[in-house]
Amino acid sequence: MPKVIMYTTGFCPYCKMAESLLRSKGVQEIEKIRIDLEPTQRAEMMGRTGRRTVPQIYIGERHVGGYDDLTQLDRKGELAALLAI
């Protein structure tokens, strides 16, 4: 299973829902980068993703996007395949 990285904050409900969805798909380990605790990480996130909101999720080297993007991949049946790489 590829490495999963999620830029997050401690108070984001979409981050919690994204984590729950990923765990339901068998993801056991998620590297969380807390941009609320490490403000320099927000600038890194914005530079990497071009986005300002959390969560921002990477599966392997692929930037999946946020929670809505993640659920869309799941609805299309593409999330499981992406996690199986």
Residue 23 belongs to domain with CATH number: 3.40.30.10
pTM: 0.93
**Statement: residue 1 has pLDDT above 90:** no
pLDDT digits (tens, 9 = 90+) for 2-16: 999 999 999 999 999
Q: Which domain holds residue 20?
A: 4-84
Tokens of 27: 């993801």
Q: Which of 5, 4, 6, 9 is nearest to 39 (CA)?
A: 9
Q: How many structural domains comprise the chain?
A: 1
pLDDT mean across residues, the chain: 96
pLDDT digits (tens, 9 = 90+) for 44-66: 999 999 999 999 999 999 999 99
Tokens of 80: 């499981």
Q: How far apart are CA 29 and CA 51, in angstroms?
A: 24
